[in-house]
Structure 1
Amino acid sequence: MPQSATALPVTLDREAPTPLAVQLADALRDAAAAGHLRGGDRLPSTRALAARLGVSRTVTSAAYEQLHAEGWITGRHGSGTYVTTSPPSDRPVHRIVPGEIAEPDELLDLTPGTPWAGGIDRAAWRRAWRAAADTAPLTRAHRAGLPEYRAAIAEHLLRHRGLAVGTDSVLATGGTTSAVLELAGAIFQAGDTIAVEEPGYQRAVQAFLSAGLEVVGIPVDNEGLRTDAIPAGVRGVYCSPAHQYPMGSRLNAARRVELVERARAENMLVIEDDYDGELRFDVAPLPLLAALAPDVVLHLGTTSKILTPTLGAGWMVAPAAVTSMVLAYRDRTGTRPSPAGQRVLIELARHGDLGRHLRKLRRELSERRVVLVSALRQGGVPVLGDDAGAHLVVPFPSAAAERERLAAGRARGIRLDGLARHFAGTPTAFGAAIGYAGCSREALAGALDTLVGLLR
């Protein structure tokens, strides 16, 4: 026998932040899921239910309207309101995505990849966001990126990376990984082979694999990517020539020339990830491969290491044919970088705050590196990596040694990053990649004795 909802145990919490109408709609859905209501059951009128619950009729009407829109109830003229069907009894519960909210802990994070966000001038940061918010909302998407952003990046590349490009040659991206995903889908075909540094940036590797591309690892040494080990027939080469990630070496001049010549002769494209090329402390930032061979090099840059991942903004400079293919891909998929972070970067560049931050960032990280390297070497700990960027590498003799040192670090309150996880294939080098940008200078100084003791 169909039953009336007036007999249902529906209660509302007037102190809860959830609106009463939402609570009522949820309660009726739950009653149906639990079997208290079934398809064909007649619901009380909105007036009768409001009187029973002690709420206004507006609350019950809004709840019924929501359930009607969802298809759970229907009204029959002259007869009343009825349940049409029941939601599944095992409806999924919405939960926090694991890893999205980091669990609080007391570990000092010395893993690489975290920028010196604490050094951003907060007054400049607030001014940039306010100015960005003052711009009118867009009425159409800019698939290539905001023109002002592309102009700001062209100026940035000229001033800080020595690359002279026009605004039309710059595409906005959502960052390095999103750019690699776009390139994988736009210019390569499933089954194409991409050569990657080994060890290297595994998010890029996974982006290639997710697009159905074959990946072959190429070893790196203290002169960068072993260009002589790149096999014939690869369609593209992904590398970080200015500051190899994670080993920290630079691609030497002879290998740069060899890589470019092979790319031209063998119809390869070189994807140049310049994730922190602005951060050179011993000499001026190294010239970009894109400046040497703009016809075969796709240059990628990002704000996530020099500013913050908050902006979600990066850039790509590529040959015109590649740019056209990426834009066509964005049209087909409906994807394009968000303009919000672009607008903030525009304002930081407009007022000179970006340049001032970069100068301050170089000084700060250079001084931190000197302190860290001096302490390690005085303690007899070997250090790998050029005088650049925001991390260095301490080698270990074996996988077991790496696991033991990382575990010992956690036990002593320090989180370190191992080299083994940066290999797409079987790891052949082991050690700790130590970042020195994400923590405060005081925290880094306070951990030096412990760190040296762990790594010695």
Structure 2
Amino acid sequence: MPHAVPAASSPLLELAIDLRRDDPRPLAVQLADALRHAATLGQLRGGDRLPSTRALARHLEVSRTVTAAAYEQLHAEGWIAGRHGSGTYVTTSPPGSRAGATTGADRGARQADEPMVVLTPGVPWAGGVDRAAWRRAWRAAADTPPDSKPHRGGSIEYREAITEHLLRHRGLVVGGLTVDNVLATGGTTSAVVELAGSVLRRGAAVAVEEPGYQRAVGALRSVGVRVVAAPVDHAGIVVDAIPRGVQAVYCSPAHQYPIGGRLPAERRIALVERARAEGWLIIEDDYDGELRYDVAPLPVLASMAPDVVVHLGTTSKILTPTLGVGWMLAPDDVAACVLQHRDRTGTSPAPAGQRVLVELARHGDLGRHLRRLRRELSQRRAFVVEKLAAEGVEVFGDRAGAHVVLPLPDAETEQRVVAMAAERGLVLDGLRRHHCGPQQWFGLALGYAACSRDELERALPILARLCGNA
């Protein structure tokens, strides 16, 4: 019988794999055949990460020796490749097949034991977190006595630390807003769910940038909110094109995700004016807001219009998703609705990550990390742009954040480049997945934070050749 599918990140665990004990073939052979067949049909694609043999065995309710033997066979045949500590990945096609054949002259060919190089956006430079500061913060956080009751809005120490962070690193000085307007969250997506469930009407329309952050789209739809597309250009959301009749607008003005533009002052003013005139709530996702390399960051929208803007931030991009915390800066009525919603549902943001961030901020480690992060990513961005430009590859996006965009002519070319890159060990992100409707932008959102500098240097020539030949 096919097995139930648990929540998981690997596409393999979304397949119905039927292992029959009355089949004369060993279970390992059945499993290898099933995975081989899935790769042939395209249900598993090049670059897809596979679960560990232990996780797959637990999912299929078989011995780990079964999954290990199946992986070993597929690895020998060239269907999968990996390295201890880095994971196992589908390679699209076995060596020697027409689709996967390469020649010795192809310097982009990937050796079977090389790990995949992750070049996707939205992944932090976790390797840059000071381990000594990290350990010190966790030890200090553990000295805090256990709580006897939940803090619905987050601990007061955390909210004060975030208020200081917004002042120092985002220039947020807003008269009338206090620490009571700052709430801890589980991150940007969970904050969107809470806003939709507590402030927005079920069935109400919310405009979201197109292309834009699809997890926000999924979060809104999960609680019965209707999502409508708001087009973007190279400068961000096109204010005049936002549909009428919406209750809220979700946007990323500091560094539009994924196109990479910065919303100019005149559009910010127009956005606020329309919000006030038409009764919108602006949900400001401050994506990469701390990471500008050319000029000082533009002030957050919340500083312009604290009456109609809910400002969202997260530690998952500037530090690590390990902490699992973010923040919401909201007008009084919105903050009250969110707290009431948490009381009704018995939910609260987890305190452990809050405590660690407080300790990082208290000893100046957070500020030092952000300065180091800006310096490192600024240098990486300059390196990426220079190397690709030298090969005649176009790049666009503001001098900010942790990704740039490489335009491509059409969807077919985008899909082909992503697939060919996977065969050569590069995990890329096409713009297709960032659209709700028909694809309007074609290309790659190239992240440069997740990998090492050595991996980046090795990957860029391969990527330049693939894009140049597209």
TM-score higher than 0.5: yes
Give the counterpart letter for 1:430 in structure 2.
Answer: F
1:123 to 117, 132, 147: 132
1:202 maps to 214
1:95 maps to 59
CA deviations 1:123-175 (Å, max 9, x no partner) are 00000000001110000100000100000000000000011252111000000
Aligned positions of 1:116-265 closer than 5 A = 116-164=125-173, 165-265=177-277
1:433 maps to 445
Identity of aligned residues (%): 64
Partners in 1 of 2:378 and 2:60 — Cα distance? 39
Partners in 1 of 2:349 and 2:59 — Cα distance? 27
The answer as to whether partners of 2:256 and 2:287 remain within 8 angstroms in 1 is no
2:409 corresponds to 1:397: yes
Partners in 2 of 1:96 and 1:239 — Cα distance? 41
1:48 maps to none
Partners in 1 of 2:243 and 2:426 — Cα distance? 40
Give the counterpart letter for 1:175 in structure 2.
Answer: G
Aligned positions of 1:377-396 closer than 5 A = 377-396=389-408
2:361 maps to 349
2:460 corresponds to 1:448: yes
1:327 maps to 339
Q: CA deviation at 1:277?
A: 0.2
Q: CA deviation at 1:103?
A: 4.3
Partners in 1 of 2:238 and 2:452 — Cα distance? 36
Give the counterpart letter for 1:155 in structure 2.
Answer: E
SS in 1 for 2:298: coil
SS in 2 for 1:300: strand
Partners in 1 of 2:143 and 2:60 — Cα distance? 33
1:104 to 88, 100, 106: 88
CA deviations 1:421-450 (Å, max 9, x no partner) are 100111111100000001111111122211
Q: CA deviation at 1:96?
A: 8.1
Partners in 2 of 1:401 and 1:162 — Cα distance? 42
The answer as to whether partners of 2:211 and 2:231 remain within 8 angstroms in 1 is yes
SS in 1 for 2:122: coil
Give the counterpart letter for 1:181 in structure 2.
Answer: V
SS in 2 for 1:260: helix
2:69 maps to none
Partners in 1 of 2:60 and 2:178 — Cα distance? 44
Partners in 1 of 2:455 and 2:417 — Cα distance? 20
Q: CA deviation at 1:275?
A: 2.2
Q: CA deviation at 1:95?
A: 2.6
Partners in 1 of 2:466 and 2:444 — Cα distance? 11
1:340 maps to 352
Partners in 2 of 1:288 and 1:387 — Cα distance? 17
Spell out structure 1 runs of 4+ moving beyond 4 A.
none
The answer as to whether partners of 2:120 and 2:446 remain within 8 angstroms in 1 is yes
Structure with the greater alpha carbon radius of gyration: 1
Partners in 2 of 1:271 and 1:281 — Cα distance? 25
SS in 2 for 1:316: strand
Partners in 1 of 2:58 and 2:345 — Cα distance? 28
2:123 maps to 114
Give the counterpart letter for 1:353 in structure 2.
Answer: D
The answer as to whether partners of 2:231 and 2:242 remain within 8 angstroms in 1 is no
Counterparts in 2 of 1:96 and 1:111: CA distance versus 1, 3 Å:
farther
The answer as to whether partners of 2:236 and 2:261 remain within 8 angstroms in 1 is yes
Partners in 2 of 1:258 and 1:275 — Cα distance? 20
Superposed CA RMSD in Å reads: 1.5
Partners in 1 of 2:88 and 2:400 — Cα distance? 30
1:55 maps to none
Q: CA deviation at 1:190?
A: 1.2
The answer as to whether partners of 2:236 and 2:253 remain within 8 angstroms in 1 is yes
Q: CA deviation at 1:102?
A: 8.6
Partners in 2 of 1:162 and 1:132 — Cα distance? 27
SS in 2 for 1:219: strand
Matched residues, number: 361
Partners in 2 of 1:96 and 1:256 — Cα distance? 52
Counterparts in 2 of 1:102 and 1:327: CA distance versus 1, 3 Å:
farther
CA deviations 1:76-123 (Å, max 9, x no partner) are xxxxxxxxxxxxxxxxx96389xxx99434210101111001001000
Partners in 2 of 1:434 and 1:440 — Cα distance? 14
SS in 2 for 1:172: strand
Partners in 2 of 1:335 and 1:102 — Cα distance? 35
Partners in 2 of 1:231 and 1:179 — Cα distance? 23
Partners in 1 of 2:237 and 2:181 — Cα distance? 27
Give the counterpart letter for 2:59 in structure 1.
Answer: R
Partners in 1 of 2:403 and 2:58 — Cα distance? 38
1:318 to 300, 308, 330: 330
1:369 maps to 381
Partners in 2 of 1:267 and 1:129 — Cα distance? 44
Q: CA deviation at 1:279?
A: 0.2
Gaps of 5+ in 2: 1-56, 62-84, 90-114
Give the counterpart letter for 1:235 in structure 2.
Answer: Q
Gaps of 5+ in 1: 1-92
SS in 1 for 2:294: coil
Give the counterpart letter for 1:167 in structure 2.
Answer: V
